[in-house]
Every structure is written in structure tokens, then in C-alpha cells.
Structure 1
């Protein structure tokens, strides 16, 4: 389980011991606020790292249990992989236990552990009654059969057993894949003295790097990840499944709200109309009228809206899935498959929940035709299913596609062939596939990265291919990056120079800010001809930054404006051209050191290195103490 990242939620009724249990597991008190300490209840979400022995990285989210803070509860559990349902032995199943349980199922949380707390307060008979009460409530739910652990957080009874049960259950959880575009729904925003704005959340998908340029949605504001922390430890990156805090540059605290989403690409839709598949709570359900106001919780957002039915004017209690639309008062960021909770604003109660069929819903007619369309959209065509999976996973082979889409191999291969013919799908390597639009996105990102590199290092021939591949390896599989670079080279979008790569239209050049001063250095080198001084003499006292001046010799050598001349000197190309022309004119096909000295009138200090340079450039060839002009007879 090394290098895997999970988030666990503590859920249950108020005062059933979630915060105390979290502290017993992690030695961290998640009640930070003064009001929480005074009132003895959790108001905001609390977080703590759970130490493991197997390399897994686990965060615990302690969510408020009071009914007044159900919004914070939903925001906290939206990104979890496993829930610990906390029930006190002296009270059993209570109203918030019921509501939390409904919400967890609607959010699609599949893995659960029941922790029966405060066992030291009850006798054996009471403990059996409480356990039986919970089993009856979970019967027939997705958590039926969940493991039970008896604990007392004060004395420490059962804490080690609970830890081991957690680790055992996490082995069954499919950890979130870091491939795909980065997405972080924000559930907390605050400021840190001397640092500025900080946001927290659980990363739904992808990877974020320190220094990354991000977009704050739904506003579309550009921000920068100046610093990344995971449980108060600074990191270079954070990935899907991790709780993380990001120090943002370019935005103030009051410009961000819980429910905003940080993303690293334009893959995510901002929408105020979502088509959904919904299920209703089991009991105490009052009918919902057409266009009734509802409160929608999706990700960490809480948004008011109106529910729109296409096959009825009033929704009564039903066990059947309901296909409908929610028109929101504010924009949210969602993807197909995202889970949501629906609540009635007055009186406040949970109505149901489900998943997003279509993030960008349209205006549809009332009637069976629309219901059929929504049903088709929900079930998804093979093309849709493949595209949806490849959009998230980037690169998959046939076996993985079968597992992800549940399509049989024949239909899958047929659909892939059709997608390739229509240029929607690419065969990246033998029987491994990706999307054309993912290639286009990566291509744009590579060109943007190269452009930024060229602006910073204008004198370099290009960026190391290995460094370029590494830049994108957190978000894209390496074979996909290699494929993209090869295609871009074939299409002329990039060019290669040994191990370096550059944008197709780029040529190394002097930086604009220092161009005049650098040209002065080059002119001085040219003026000295063959009797060039040490390079350090030309740059001594220059106001040009060291980082820039250190790039200049390589630039001159690469552009062949100069050649290496002795270990600590360069010689201008024009000096070599002039000396070669004079030497050719005044010597025979074969010449020795004396003839060269007479022609060029140079001391041995300069003459010997110059003649050796001509040998290196294949202008001359040496045989003992004589040299001959090559057939090429000049510079390339």
C-alpha cells in the first residue's frame, strides 16, 4: 500500500465521541476553534494524519455531528474513501446517525467501519442491545456486513483493533488515480500571517505541483500554488486522495468561498443546470412539487436551485430512480458521475441524492421523449463510456478498458476502430489508447511550457527532453508524453537538437534586456581576432547578471559565432575565417609550423591552439609535423 493516499471520514450523531476517537487514533485534537472548546462540539471540519506501518498516507476528517452543521458534514465527507460510523454504546442510533447514514449512501461511499464508542459506560447487556440496534439499521443498506469494533477512547480499549481494521479495509479500497486533471473542491479558506491566502480540501483527481498556475472556478480567476502542505509538512506536490493546504498567490481570502474549485486545466465545466439521476430517502418523505426550491450539495458546494421534472408535476415517495434536472441559482463545477445531496430548505431535511448524468443540462420539453433521452444519456453509449474513461485515465490498454467500461471485447474493439477512423481516439502504442483531445491539450501545454522556458533561457538551444517529460509525468503517462513529442516533431510543432527540444519557431537569441551589452562583449571578442583574451577578461565588471553571462559562451558556441580556443578562451568565427583565408593564400597544400607562423605572425601561445582548432574543425589534417588542407578547405 506504499505511495497510496486515502481520506477517512468520522461520521455520526453529536456527542458520540468522533473527535475524542480521532484524537485517540492520531493524538491530534481536531477541535481548533474557541467556540468548539467552549461548547464541546465540532463546528468546522477537523483533520488529522493517521500514522501507518505500511507506507499508506491516511487523513482523517472529523465532521460535525450537530444538525445545524450538516453543510460542513457533507463538505467533509464528499471526498472520502472510507467512513467510520461512530455510535455511542449508551445511546445507540440517533437522528443524526440516521441522516449521516443516508447522506453517505447517496454520496456513493462504499466502505464502512462501525465504531461503537463509550463502551466503559455500559454493561454487557446494554452493549449487545446497542450493537443489535445498529445491525438492524444497516440491514439492507450498502453498509450491511460492515465490520464492528468496540472502543473506549478514554481508556484506549479497542483503539489498536480499530486501527488494524481500518488498514484492512483500506486494502479493499481502490485508491484514487493521480492521472487526470487536477481538481480540488475547497472546504476551508483562511489567511496565515506573513503567508496570505490558504485553502484546504481533499484532492479529487490529478496532481498539483508547487509553483503550478491554477484556475479558481467558477470565477475563472488565475492563481499560483506558492506552497503546498500535507498535514503541516511542506511538499513539492500533492495528489489525488490527499488532504492538502495550498498557499495561493494572486487572490485574497474574501475572493474565495467554500465550494469553489481549484483546477489545473480547462477540462472542467462551470454550470448552473445539471441533469441528474436521483434516489429518495426511505422514510418521512413529503412530496416535492414541480420547480420547488431545493438546496443542492455537490462537492463542497451548497447552492440553492429549483427541481424540474419532465414526467410528473409532483414527486411522491418512490423506490424508483428519478431522472430530472436541477436549475441552480449559482454556478458550480461538476463532472459526469459526481455525487450530490438534495435537501429541502424549509423545513430543513434531506430529500435524497444521486449522481450527475450531464453537467451541462439544456432546455428540454416535458414528456417521455426527454425521459428517454436522459435514460440514454445515463446509460451512455459505448463511445461515451470509452471517452469518459479515457478522459480520466489518459492511457489504457484493452484489458483496462474492458474493466472500466464493462463492454465486451468485440464491441470495445469495434468502437475503438470507429473512434480511430473518426480521429477521436489515438492508438498510442500497441493496443494502448488515448483521446485526440487529450493529445491536443498536452500539445498546447508542452508548447506553453517550452515558450516559458525560451523566455527564461532565450540563449539556450532548448529544454532537455528528459526534463520536459518529467514536467508532465505526474499528470500524463510517460508513453503518452513520448507519443505527443514524436507527433509534434513530425508535424513541425517542435524541433530536436541532440537531447534538447524547442518550439518549432524558436531560435536562440540574446535576451532583450541585455542585448546591447552582450553585443559589446561579442564585438570586443571579434576585434581581438586570433589573439583573444581569456573569457573572464571580456565579462569582468559587466552589470549583466551572472546567471545570464554564464549562458553567453554556450550560446556563441551553439550558434557558431565562436569556437572554443584554449581552455579558458573563445575565438570569434570571423577571426578564424580571416586567418584561414590568409593561411590558404600564403601556403601550399602542405605546410608546417614555420610557414604558419610566418603567414599569421602569431606567437606559439596562440599559433598552436589555433592550428589544433583547424584540425578539430576538419579544415586541416596533421601528419607528424606537417598539415594538409582537407578537400573541404574551409568552415562549415
Structure 2
């Protein structure tokens, strides 16, 4: 049976007993800093393992409750499976409690247990009132049905009941993705003497093993996992859901910071523009205007940026959902579906949160068209996301599809396999993928382009392949065009003569409007036999243009009806064939220029170009002053 790994968070107002309750559950004091012990408040995130009867691995994150440490609080609850909301019986629900509740909802935390602490400080009547106050505060949240446990952390009253309730709730939590690409957002960086740089965080997905080659993003620096610990125990591997410390080789402490992301593959993109779905808090202190500065908290990152609306210019009060974009001042590493919190820098407050629709976006125009597009992105299934990526980029390999869709490798490969079999997706020779519907569009444009070309240039053999490909690369990648041209050749839909491509049904011909006049030119050349005149003389005073005359000249040469003697002279094929027959009949195996002149009876003006043409056609081969028949 696959091991289960979970992370639960202790959240709540300052001095409501989170750290004491964590110690009662785990026997570990998570306040490790001298300042924390002196001030009796948590400043940094604290961690402790919770032992379970069935071997399930559980980490408790004790997050700071003071409003000054809200950044650490957000980093702590990012990636947790269950939250224990701690509320002191002698104070009840406080403003910080309400903000924590909103943050938990925005981050998509689905399961909550309320731990009412310090019950020794109030009588039963007041405890009942506190319970009612808590129920009222939770009524408008997704945690309205959260179970409530009353505890005294000092005497351990209710602690075992809380443990049992935690284990019961965790049984309903979905497994984290052990099989995805490894990703660990870093929330702590420190140095251990004799060991070097250590980072700590909760593994969002995948597995890391000792000796793994890893990448720090967004810097892209490559590192090695020299040692891995889970709650101070050395392990060979750590999986999604586990709190993990990794000793990294190849990097200094100064080169890392909270918010960096440790990954094992190049499947992750670094981005500074994200499409998002946001819900705003119920009580905004001030309106949020177009391009307002915001702080984005996602994973363990805190990045400033601007919020961009596409269907409004201001948010005055809470709304159900707003599709918008955040343009960041620095790059981040996220995936589709990641949850985030938005805070206003001044006055400092949480203004909303939501999830990332597209982690690697671009600028869009203001208007309903953009909103409709974002709506489609939001609703997209994994298959839709793959299709959308292929529609945008036309052809992608597996790595690029993973990057563009934020799906894991197993899911992408599964969809590609099934859709290739269904002929919806096509594998290109270089192991890239495209949509069969795109290939149909390529074919339609190739056929349409060739038809138009044939109509405009009936005397040409076809369109130059390089020219044809260049025209279509404005819309399709070259590999897609080449692939489909080869496929059309195999299906006999098109033909290729040298560098020229044409539809199979097409045959070069004289244009109907000048057919008579052009045929007359051809007859005149044939009638003059070997003593032809200059090309310009044949087409002079003809009603068709010089461009048409040039087309006719090329047509005669390309179709083999005539041969070029010089730049000025063409000879008709039948005239040349007759000359060849006369020469063969009246010369020996070898012959001289004088012999040829006697047979053909033409001047050197024509004779030398004719003999050189026979050499070009490989009918004869020149040897000093003689030629021999091949």
C-alpha cells in the first residue's frame, strides 16, 4: 500500500495557543528562535511530526498569528491538507481569526477543525457562548460544518480527541500527486555547519531522492540533493505532502531565498504574467482600481505587481468571481490551479485570492472578447488545455505541452496516446504533436494556394516549393507544412517536378486568351528549323505583354518543347531531334566540327551552340577537337 503523507496547519490569532497546542500534540516546541521565546510569539514557521497509529506521515506547520507576520502565515498554509483553527476560549473570534479564515478559503483549504483552547480560563456558560460565536463566524464560510474540539493544552484535556478528529478528517483527503514532476516551493533557507546550504518546504508534487539533480527556479541554477531529511531523520526519498529539508550541493546560501522553487525537470516555466480568477474579500477598506499595485502570495513567493481588469475599471465591493490578469515585477514559478492570495501594499490588507488559470500568459486587449477567452480557459479540461496549446502553437513536443498546460507528464502522455489512436492528435516525425484538424487546415490552404497559382500562371510547371512553404509559414510551422506536403505526395494529391509543386490534376498549358497567338510563335520557331531568329523577333508586335512572352519562353523550355541555344535563341525540339538523326546517320563514332557543318549545313553561329547543347544533353562527349557519341 502506498504511503500517505499529509501536512496540517495551525492557524489563528496571536497568543491563542497554537504553539502550545502543537507541543501538546507532538511533544515538540516549534518556537526555536531566541526572540520567539522571549516575546512568546511565533515569528517564523515552526514544524513538528505528529505520530499516527497506522503509520500515516503527518507534519504540523505552526504559522505565526501576528498581523505583521502575515507573509509567513500565508507561506505556511500554502500546500496544507487540513487546518486546525485555534481560537482561545477567553477571547473568542478576533479580527485576525477572520482574516485567517478568508485566507484559508482563498487558498482552497477544504477541511478544517476548530480547536477551542484555554478552556480552563472560562466557565461552562461562557464556553457555550464562545462556541455560538465561533459557529456564527463560520456560518458564511466553507467551514460552517467544521467539527469543534475543546482542549486545554497544558493539562492535555481534549488533546487525544483532537488527534482522533485529525486522523478521521485526513482519511477523506485526496492523495497528493506522487507521480508528477517534483516541485518544492522553498520557505526556509539556512546553513548547517559542516553540511552547507539547506532548504526546507512542503513537497507539492512528485518525489525527490538522494543524489537527484535538481534545478532552482527562477534562477535556473543546477544543484544536487546531497542529503534529505524529514523531521530530522535522514531518508533516501521524500514524497508529495511531506515537510522536507534538503541539503543542496553546488549553491551558496546567499543565492537562495524564500519563494524560490526546487524542481527536478525543465517542465516548469518562469513567468511574470498570469491569468487568474479572483474573489475579493467581503469588506474592502478602499476600492481596487485598474492597474492597482498588489502583492501576490503564491506558494512561498511574495511578488509585487499590477492587477489588470478586462471588463471593468474598479472593484468597489466583493464579487463572486473576476477574471483578470496580474503583471508581476519579478518572475515566479507556478502551475495552473495553484492557489494564491492578493494583498494591498498600502493600506496593508488582504483583498482577495483565487487560482491561476494560465501560468504563462501574455497581454490582451480590454473587452468582452478577452473575458470570453478567459472563461473558456477557466472551464478547460486537461484535454481542452492540450488542444488549446496545440491550436496556439500548432506543434509541440511533450515537454512543451507540459509547460504550456501545467499538467503532469503522466496525464499528458495518457491523453496523447488515446487521442493519437482516435486520430484527433497526430505524431510528427520529430516526436512533436499536432491536431489532425490543423493538418486539414494546412491541406486546405495548400490546395487553395496551388489552385490560385495555377490559374494565375498556367504555363508554369507549378509553384516553387520553398516559396510555397514560406507563404504558409506565416500561419503554420515549417515542419507541419513539410509533413503534409509529403503526405499529399504519398496520396497522389500533388506532384513534384524538380523544385516545383503542383496539383496532380494540373498540367501546364497555354492561356486560353493568348493560345492562338502563342501557338503561332511556336510554329514559327519550328518552321525556321536550325536557323532560328532571336526570341525577341518572334514575340515582337504580339498583343501579349513582355511578361507573358517570358512566361511562354520558360514554358517551352520547362515542358521540353524547345531548348535554349543561347540567351537569345531557342530551338524547337522537333528541329533538334531531326538534326540529331541526321548527324547520327552521317557520322562515325566520332566526328569533328567540320563533319557536323557538312551534315547540318549551318553557320558556326548556330553550329557551335547546337553541338554544346548535345554535350549538355549527354548525347555526345567532347574530346579535344572531336566529339564522340555516348
Partner Cα distance (1:38, 1:128) in 2: 34
Q: Which residue does the alignment assign to 2:397?
A: none
Find the aligned partners of 2:152 and 2:420 in 1 and give their Cα distance.
55
- Residue in 2 aligned with 1:394? 410
Residue 11 of structure 2 corresponds to 11
User: In the TM superposition, what is the alpha-carbon distance from 1:416 to its structure 2 partner?
Assistant: 6.8
**Conservation of the 8 A alpha-carbon contact between 1:296 and 1:304:** yes
| Structure 2 residue aligned with 1:367 | 367
Match of residue 426 from structure 2: 422
Question: What per-residue deviation string (whole Å, max 9, x for no partner) do you get for residues 582-619 of structure 1?
Answer: xxxxxxxxxxxxxxxxxxxxxxxxxxxxxxxxxxxxxx
Alignment check: 8 A CA contact 1:200 1:243 kept: yes
Quote the offset at 1:383 in angstroms: 2.4
Contact 2:25–2:159 (CA under 8 A) maintained in structure 1? yes
Give the equivalent residue in structure 1 for 2:438.
none
- Once residues 107 and 186 of structure 1 are traced to their aligned partners in structure 2, the CA distance between those partners, rounded to angstroms, is 17
Q: Distance in 1 between matches of 2:313 and 2:422?
A: 42
What's the secondary structure of 2:20's corresponding residue? Answer: helix
Question: Does the 8 Å CA contact 2:425/2:433 hold for their aligned counterparts?
Answer: no
Change (3 A) 1:372 1:225: same
Runs of 4+ aligned residues of structure 1 deviating over 3 Å after TM superposition are 385-391, 395-398, 412-421
Match of 2:306?
Answer: 306
Alpha-carbon distance between aligned partners in 1 of 2:278 and 2:305, rounded to the nearest angstrom: 15
Question: Do the aligned partners of 1:200 and 1:245 also contact (CA within 8 Å) in 2?
Answer: yes
**Distance across 2 between alignment mates of 1:12 and 1:279:** 22
> Is the CA contact (8 Å cut-off) linking 1:2 and 1:55 kept in structure 2?
no
Q: 1:390 to 1:291 in 2, by over 3 A?
A: closer
TM-score where L is the length of structure 2: 0.63
The Cα offsets for residues 250-307 of structure 1, whole Å up to 9 and x where unpaired, read as: 1111110100000000111100111100001112342111111100001100001011
Residues 1:386 and 1:112: Cα distance change in structure 2 (over 3 Å): farther
1:501-529 CA distances to partner (integer Å, 9 max, x unpaired)?
Answer: xxxxxxxxxxxxxxxxxxxxxxxxxxxxx
How far residue 3 of structure 1 moved from its aligned partner, in angstroms, is: 1.1
Counterpart for residue 584 of structure 1? none
- 3-state DSSP of counterpart to 1:269: coil
1:258 and 2:258 correspond: yes
Task: Show CA shifts across 1:303-343 (max 9, x none).
Answer: 01011111111122132200111010110001111111000
Tell me: CA distance 1:342–1:251, structure 2 relative to 1, closer, same or farther (3 Å). Answer: same
For residues 45 and 416 of structure 1, what CA distance do their matches in structure 2 show? 47
- Aligned equivalents of 2:186, 2:16: Cα separation in 1: 27
Instruction: Supply the distance in 2 between the matched residues of 1:322 and 1:116 (Cα, whole angstroms).
Output: 35
Is residue 94 of structure 2 the alignment partner of residue 94 of structure 1?
A: yes
Question: Per the alignment, in what secondary structure is the counterpart of residue 394 of structure 1?
Answer: helix
The Cα of 1:7 is off from its aligned counterpart by 0.2
Conserved in 2, the CA contact under 8 Å of 1:390 and 1:396?
Answer: no
Mapped partners of 2:215, 2:409: distance in 1: 21
- Name which one, 1 or 2, has greater alpha-carbon Rg: 2
Q: Does the 8 Å contact 2:290/2:308 carry over to 1?
A: yes
| 1:53 and 2:53 aligned | yes
8 Å CA contact 1:2–1:54 kept in 2: the answer is no
How far off its partner does 1:95 sit? 1.2
* 1:285/1:317 contact within 8 Å kept: no
Show CA shifts across 1:100-147 (max 9, x none).
100000000001100000001100011011111111111132111111
C-alpha separation in 2, matches of 1:372 and 1:164: 47
Q: 1:197 and 2:197 equivalent? A: yes
Q: CA deviation at 1:436?
A: 7.2
The answer as to whether partners of 2:12 and 2:97 remain within 8 angstroms in 1 is yes
Change in CA separation of 1:382 and 1:50 when aligned onto 2, cut-off 3 Å: closer
Distance of 2:366 and 2:421 partners within structure 1: 37
**1:35, 1:328 → 2: CA distance?**
34
* Aligned partners of 2:335 and 2:406 also within 8 Å: no
Count of residue pairs brought into register by the alignment: 416
Offset of residue 414 of structure 1: 8.9
CA gap of 1:395–1:348, structure 2 versus 1, over 3 A, is: closer
SS where residue 173 of structure 2 aligns?
A: coil
Alpha-carbon offset, residue 392 of structure 1? 2.4
Aligned to 2:176: 176
Q: What secondary structure, in the 3-state scheme, does the structure 2 residue paired with 1:60 have?
A: strand
- Pairwise mapping of residues 492-507 of structure 1 onto structure 2 (< 5 A)? none
- Shift of residue 420 of structure 1? 5.7
Equivalent residue, structure 2, for 1:128:
128
Q: Distance in 2 between matches of 1:373 and 1:356?
A: 15
Task: Report the counterpart of residue 294 of structure 1 in structure 2.
Answer: 294
Q: What is the Cα-based RMSD across aligned positions, in Å?
A: 2.3
Unaligned runs of 5+ in 1: 402-411, 425-434, 438-636
d(CA) in 2 for partners of 1:393, 1:89: 48
Compared with structure 1, are the counterparts of its residues 168 and 102 closer, same or farther at alpha carbon in structure 2 (3 Å cutoff)?
same
Residue 380 of structure 1 and its aligned partner are, at CA, apart by 1.2
The CA deviation at 1:385 is 5.0
Counterpart mapping for 1:45-84 below 5 A? 45-84=45-84
The alpha-carbon distance between structure 1 residues 144 and 4, as it changes in their structure 2 partners (threshold 3 A), is same
TM-score (norm 1): 0.63
Shift of 1:413: 11
